Structure 1
Amino acid sequence: MLPLSMPVNEKIAADFVKFLRQFVPLTDTEVKKELLPIVSTREFAKKQVISKAGEVENYMNFISKGLIRKYYKTGEEEHIVQISREGHLISAQESFYTRTPSEYFVEALEPSVVISLTFEDMERLFASSHSFERLGRLVTVHTMVLKDKWQTSLIMQSPRDRFLNFVENHHEILQRVPQKYLASYLNIKPETFSRFKHLLRLKRPAL
């Protein structure tokens, strides 16, 4: 099933524009005349694959609604490297920027709506003005820093600390994502994850 793709109007794009303005103060004219005409909204059903391993990633996606995961497979086992909700970017980034086949699957965990920009349109946008070129650099740095922080936590923190930090900072996702996916994402054995959740319930009144 192909995603439903539509043009983006200002109301739908409001959160996307707010996200971008964290990095560069885009003018209303830049948004209306240069940005909105080249992005589109795409809708995906629950469990629908957004991009596949072995294919070149063509889109950078901002999540307007829903929950999306990124994972790779070894044999039949899935290894989740990203779970993102509304207000965040997701794509097979290495493939997107290098134009080489991806190692990752990107899949909707809930019915999802994303605002998408193709690689070709992104390149033209960045070349059109210093403001957009700077925006692209700052957003790329932002995503790299988030990725490095997460990789550091996987190395430096104990499974228990990773779990507790995730609960503290992403409690909403804990309620929306199947436990087996969260265990994979946090690199915690499923039985250990279950034990941590049990301890959390016992201690919750004291938190």
Structure 2
Amino acid sequence: MEHYGYFRQFHDISLADYHLLTDNLQSRSFKKGTAIVVPGQVQRDLYFVKSGVQMAYLEADDKTYVIDFSYAPALCAIAESFSFQAPSKYFLTCLTDTEMACLPHAQLQQLLDQSRSVERLFRRMIERMLADMVDMHINLRAMTIEERYRAFCSKSPELLHLVPHKYIASYLGIDPTNFSKLFNQVRF
């Protein structure tokens, strides 16, 4: 029942459909630093985060560009690799020791065909993810670095203590030195 409340934020899924979705999940553990997906690899399983923090990122020009963080109780995936069963263009790595439950792509497809409620749940989760991505693009273009920092701290304050600041700075499009100044000057 650990993800039931999370799922209900998106769709009023019944207990029967919840169990249809979760009864066949397999637990997986990953150590800090483990790459779950690397460029060129297809993500075969969808992950439901139980504990830990993961980071999606790409490397180019000797720089790390952070795309997203995932942590409980969210999903963890390279969305286009999992959805289309195509090679990933970037990395998905565990920043901390991680516990997740996983569901293979083929099994999820069967569940989506079997249950309209599960299908609606995933559609609404994808809609939320798309809206969040649009918001992030707007924030990167229209907000000052302090506004971005404050918005991040309001949404995910726990990550300030779990994620190396250079990665948060990259995610927010802030130079690491400026991020350090913000971290030391702006209080929550």
Task: Please tell me the TM-score bracket, short chain as reference.
Answer: over 0.9
Aligned residue among 31, 35, 39 for 2:25: 39
TM-fit CA distance, 1:169: 2.5
2:55 counterpart residue number: 69
2:95 counterpart residue number: 109
2:14 counterpart residue number: 27
Deviation readout 1:86-127 (Å, 9 max, x if unpaired): 112221101111221111111111101112222111111010
Query: Residues 60 and 116 of structure 1 are in contact (CA less than 8 Å); yes or no, is this contact kept in structure 2?
Result: yes
- The separation in 2 between residues aligned to 1:147 and 1:75, in whole angstroms, is 24
Query: Residues 17 and 117 of structure 2 are in contact (CA less than 8 Å); yes or no, is this contact kept in structure 1?
Result: no
- The separation in 2 between residues aligned to 1:30 and 1:79, in whole angstroms, is 37
1:133 counterpart residue number: 119
- The separation in 2 between residues aligned to 1:163 and 1:25, in whole angstroms, is 33
Aligned letter for 1:16? Answer: H
TM-fit CA distance, 1:166: 1.4
| Structure 2 portions without partners, runs of 5+ | none
Aligned letter for 1:17? Answer: Y
TM-score, length of structure 1 as denominator length: 0.84
1:171 match: secondary structure = coil
1:174 counterpart residue number: 160
- The separation in 1 between residues aligned to 2:100 and 2:50, in whole angstroms, is 5
Q: 1:147–1:15: structure 2 CA closer, same or farther, 3 Å change rule?
A: farther
Q: CA RMSD in A?
A: 1.6
TM-score, length of structure 2 as denominator length: 0.92
1:93 counterpart residue number: 79
**Runs of 4+ with deviation above 6 angstroms:** none
Map residues 142-153 of structure 1 onto 2, 5 A cutoff. 142-153=128-139
TM-fit CA distance, 1:72: 0.6
Query: Residues 53 and 105 of structure 1 are in contact (CA less than 8 Å); yes or no, is this contact kept in structure 2?
Result: yes
1:135 match: secondary structure = helix
TM-fit CA distance, 1:55: 0.9
Number of equivalent positions: 188
Deviation readout 1:134-153 (Å, 9 max, x if unpaired): 12211111111112211221
Residue 188, structure 1, aligned to residue 188, structure 2 = no
- The separation in 2 between residues aligned to 1:26 and 1:99, in whole angstroms, is 26
Q: Percent of counterpart pairs with the same letter?
A: 26
Query: Residues 38 and 121 of structure 1 are in contact (CA less than 8 Å); yes or no, is this contact kept in structure 2?
Result: no
More relative contact order in 1 or in 2 (CA 8 Å, sep 6+)?
2
Query: Residues 48 and 101 of structure 2 are in contact (CA less than 8 Å); yes or no, is this contact kept in structure 1?
Result: yes
